[in-house]
Every structure is written in structure tokens, then in C-alpha cells.
Amino acid sequence: MEAKSIVKEAVAKRVPALRELHQRIWESAELGYEEIKSALALRDFMASEGFAVETGVAGIPTAFVASYGSGKPIIGILAEYDALSQLSQQPGCPTKDPIPGQEGGHGCGHSALGTGSAAAAVAIKDYLEATGKSGTVKLYGCPAEENGWGKTFMARAGLFDELDCAFTWHPSYDNGVWSTSSLANVSVKFKFAGRTAHAAAAPHAGRSALDSCEIMNVGVNYLREHVIPEARMHYAYLDVGGTSPNVVQDHACVHYFLRAPKSAQVQEILARVKDIAKGAALICGTECICEIQSGMSDYIPNPTMSAVIQESLTELGAPEFDGADQALATQFFQSLPEESRQQVLAGLARRFGEERAREIAAAPLEETISPLVLTKVAMPGSTDVGDVSYVTPTAQATLAGFCIGTTPHTWQVTGQIGSSIGEKCYLKAGEVLALSAAKVIDQPELCQQAREELLAETGGVYDCPAPDDVLPPIPEGVAQRAKEAGL
């Protein structure tokens, strides 16, 4: 039997089990590093399929690696399963209607991401069994993509080092390969310490930590003109030193995100921002401590592995939506803000003419496949897949799981991913990643080619943006709860 038939059959025969798995993750809707029920659901599923599962990897209770097979190539499949706060929504409901008592929701579709990746891993197992070929598949349970950058810490722990390549995917409004880079970033807190004093009676005795923050921010705002135009520097006050204007503030803290197209550029900017903080402390007579929280490297889409995904997607086709899915998606499209809808319609009209634009809006689930055009332009955001892409050749698919015009991190995503639209999306993702892996198993020389491309890009250097002494920000009590739950 050919690879395509094996992976399609492998996914098809597991639809009820995958549906149950997805339901468990979608309903649990747990925030980053707290994905205990979701990690358990995935672990149970992988273990029931005969995978060896190691939990609690990289010091993260909800991270795991599930392995099957032996020998090379060693192929990694990345799974995410964290949710977002405030995005609870009834499944398939196109008007805002949160589930009572539930705050979080899968507004970025990571319930589907985790399930589709698990589907891919078990379909690769079937392919290895059916062909008797050499190869190992590893499903990586990667927590906290949204808020905690789990993969950065997993990459630092060396978990991806042995891989010949990694595949992942993300639900989207289109079908294709994730072809752009992303911004590298670093999250860093500047804590100033000064001395309190009566602000009217003895201001000369005080040393203001709040003034230090303000002067630091002024300095950074002057720096903006003298860094590369693509750089982004944003900050928020975490501590303003109390609420009394008549007390000189002896503590204050400002939290920065620094971003640029390449990790090395972020490090250069960070060095200059640290100097500014030192200068602010010197001006005010305070002390400054710089605490790096974590960071993400820029994403390097691997050309060879991206082409492998594109080929698989073209062979398999887009998710197969029916009339009921399109009708439901139309209602979701109508629920989008007027401005977003007009923007989408104007964009479609420019590309296809007004009549076709109206037709597309009436059936707004994408059923075509976008051509593969890799670009060095970074999308204006960051992802921790970037850290994996520095260590091993990495490629990502996108599969339609919500209607055109839907933006991630909205209740509309939670609602659509929780419906039959989401199911068709993750089932197809499983097939696409599994067929991509089968191609690598059949042609292991692709790994060498991909590795050479990666080396040309990085010189073989990966500097993890999270320093060795920075621990993943696991909320208090989670490790205990995870243990009690059996993780």
C-alpha cells in the first residue's frame, strides 16, 4: 500500500479516539504550564498506542516526549495544548456565549493542534509497522506556547538535539506552509531599589526607584531611532513603588519585551537597554537588577522540509468541509467585527473581483492550497517553534480550522475549533504531517540536505535566549497537582 493510503487509513480508523482526545483537551481549556488534564489525555492516548512516554521533561510537569520505533531518521512532531483566558465559548455557537463557570478557551486552536499532532504520530507508527522501515517518531508535548515559551526551555534541555527534523502545524484560515520567519524576542524585568523619604520634608534623603524607571524608559524611547527599524521595544510597569505620592519610592519594576528579526540582534539591543538601565540607576543613585525571564528565537522555516509538507498537502488536499460546515462558518463570518469583514471582502475583491469575493464570503472555509513561497520577512509576532528551528530543520503546515477573516485569540476560534470544522482540520493535519514524515523515512537523504540548509543559516550556533539559571515560570502548586493527578 502506498504511504498516502496508509496514513489516511491510520487516521480514519482512529476518528472516535481522536474525537474523545480532542474533546478532553478542548473542554479542559487549561492555561500555559497548568495543562494537567490535557497532558494526561495525550499521555494516555500515546501510551495506549504503544508509545514510551516520558513526562515531566525539562523540569516542566506538563511537558512530555512519547517515542516509537528505532533507528534513523528520528522525526519530531510538536504538539501544543494550552488555552487562553477570557475566551470560553460554546462549541459551534456563532454568537458570543461563554460556557458557564469556564473562563479559558481554545481561542488559538491548540486543542486541535495537540490532537492533530498526536494523530500524525500514530499514523507514522502505522507507516513504520506496515513498511518495516527504519525510523523513530517522537511526539513532543510542548506546554505554554502562549505565555511561557515551553519549547525554549525544552530546547535548552537538549530535547530536540537528536532529531533529524521536526514538523508541526497550526490551525488557520488557510491551507499551506508557514512560510515566514517570526521575530526573536526576550522578556526581561528591570528592578530598581532606592531609599524612602518624606517627599516634602526630606526629599534629599530619598533615592527614587520610580524616577529610575521613568528615566530608563525615556532613554529607551531615545534609543528607538538608533536601532534597526524592525526592532520593537515595549514595556509595562509591574511595580510603581506604592500609592503614596508623599513617599519617595524605594522599589519599582518595569518589564520589557525586546524583539527583532534575528536572535543576535535582540541580544545587541538587550545589551544597550541594560546600559540605559545602569545609566538611569547612576543618575538616581539607585541599584538596578536585570532579570531575564525567557525569550524566543526567530523561526527559520527549513526549505527542504517546507517543500515536503507542501507536496504532502497537495497530494492529500485541504480539509473536506461540507455544506453544513460552510453554513456554520458563514454565521461565524457574520459575527466578525464589521471592519474585519469589510477588510476581508475588499482584499478578496482586489484579488478575484467583486462577484467571486461575495461567493467566497458565502462559503468562507478555505478549500484551496496556497502556493509555497518562502520569505525572509518576519511576521510581526514571535513563536517558541523558533527555538526548535535553530536546533533541527523544522517546517510547519497551516490547515483551515476557521473561516477567513477570523483572527486567533478570539472566541470565534474557540467556537469553530470546538465544532465539526475543527475536527476536519485536525484530522487532515494528522494526515499531512504523517505523510511528510513518511517521505522523510523513504528518502532519508532529505535530512542531510535540510541540515546543510540549517547550518548555512545559523553556522551551527544556538544561543538559547533563556539563561541557564532561569527556570520555567511554573505557577505554585502545579507540580504537586500534576503529581497527584498521575503525571
Cell of 251: 522599589
Query: What is the smallest separation between the CB atom of 98 and Zn ion, expressed in angstroms?
Result: 20
Are 110 and 151 a contacting pair, CB within 8 Å?
A: no
Least CB distance to Zn ion at residue 382 (A):
11
Q: In the complex with Zn ion, which residue's Cβ is closer, 87 or 108?
A: 108
Of 30 and 211, nearer to Zn ion (C-beta) is 30
Nearest approach, Cβ of 108 to Zn ion (angstroms)?
Answer: 3
Q: Which residue, 28 or 265, has its beta carbon nearer to Zn ion? A: 28
Q: What is the DSSP secondary-structure string of 324-382?
A: HHHHHHHHHHHHS-HHHHHHHHHHHHHHH-HHHHHHHHHS-S--S--------PEESS-
Please state the closest distance from residue 351 (CB atom) to Zn ion, in A.
26
Q: Nearest residue by C-beta to Zn ion?
A: 108
- Spatial strand order in the sheet of 232-239: 232-239, 251-260, 184-193, 287-296
Cell reading at 283:
543618575
> Do you find a cis peptide bond into 73, omega within 30 degrees of 0?
yes
In angstroms, rounded to a whole number, what is the distance separating the alpha carbons of residues 342 and 20? 37
C-alpha cell at 211: 524616577
- Using CB under 5 A, which of the segments 40-48, 102-110, 399-407, 465-473 binds Zn ion? 102-110
Taking the least distance from each CB to Zn ion, the nearer of 105 and 303 is 105
Residue from the set 6, 74, 108, 399 that interacts with Zn ion by CB under 5 A: 108
Smaller CB separation from Zn ion, 104 or 135 = 104
Nearer to Zn ion, 66 or 108 (CB): 108
From residue 306 to residue 335, what is the string marking binding to Zn ion with x (rule CB under 5 A)? ------------------------------
CB of 113 to Zn ion, least distance (A): 7
CB of 253 to Zn ion, least distance (A): 28
Compute the least distance from the CB of residue 405 to Zn ion, in Å. 17
Binding of residue 399 to Zn ion (CB under 5 A): no
223-282 positions binding Zn ion, by CB under 5 A: none
Of the ranges 96-104, 106-114, 228-236, 244-252, which one interacts with Zn ion (CB under 5 A)? 106-114
> In which element (H, E) is residue 55 found?
strand 52-55
Binding mask 57-96 for Zn ion (x = CB under 5 A): ----------------------------------------
Q: Which stretch binds Zn ion (CB under 5 A): 104-112, 184-192, 263-271, 470-478?
A: 104-112
In the complex with Zn ion, the residue whose CB is nearer, 417 or 482, is: 417
CA angle 96, 368, 87 (to 5 degrees): 20
- Shortest distance, CB of residue 181 to Zn ion, whole angstroms? 16
Map residues 110-149 to x or -, x wherever contact with Zn ion holds by CB under 5 A: ----------------------------------------
Name the nearest CA neighbour of 29 among 78, 94, 84.
84
Inter-residue long-range contacts of 471-476, CB under 8 Å, 24+ positions, other chains counted:
471/59, 472/33, 472/58, 472/59, 472/60, 472/144, 472/148, 472/150, 472/153, 472/294, 473/33, 473/148, 473/293, 473/294, 474/33, 474/60, 474/61, 475/33, 475/34
SS3 161: coil
What is the rounded CA–CA span in Å between residue 248 and residue 346?
Answer: 55
Q: Name the phi and psi angles at 144, rounded to 5.
A: 50, 50
Grid coordinates belonging to 463: 544561543
Which region among 100-108, 310-318, 371-379, 430-438 touches Zn ion (by CB under 5 A)? Answer: 100-108
CA 106 to chain centre: 13
| Closer residue to Zn ion, CB minimum distance, 136 or 406 | 406
**Shortest reach from residue 240's CB to Zn ion, in Å:** 32
- To the nearest whole angstrom, how small is the minimum distance from the Cβ of residue 33 to Zn ion? 15
- Contact in structure between 2 and 10 (CB atoms under 8 Å): no
Residue 285's region, left for phi above 0, alpha for psi from -120 to 50, else beta, is left
Nearer Cβ to Zn ion, position 38 or 208? 38
Cα-based distances in Å from 93 to 89, 170, 413: 7, 22, 11
Nearer to Zn ion, 108 or 280 (CB): 108
Choice between 79 and 361, CB closer to Zn ion: 79
To Zn ion, the closest distance from the beta carbon of 87 in angstroms equals 12
Number of C-beta neighbours around residue 457 at 10 A: 14
CB closer to Zn ion out of 170 and 207: 170
Size of the site for Zn ion (CB under 5 A): 1
- Tell me whether strands 251-260 and 176-177 are parallel, antiparallel or unpaired: unpaired
Q: Which is nearer to Zn ion, 125 or 151 (CB)?
A: 151
The residue range among 24-32, 108-116, 203-211, 279-287 that interacts with Zn ion, by the rule CB under 5 A, is 108-116
246 Cβ neighbours under 8 A, 6+ residues apart: 198, 199, 200
CB of 414 to Zn ion, least distance (A): 12
Using CB under 5 A as the criterion, which residues of the chain lie in contact with Zn ion when the complex forms? 108
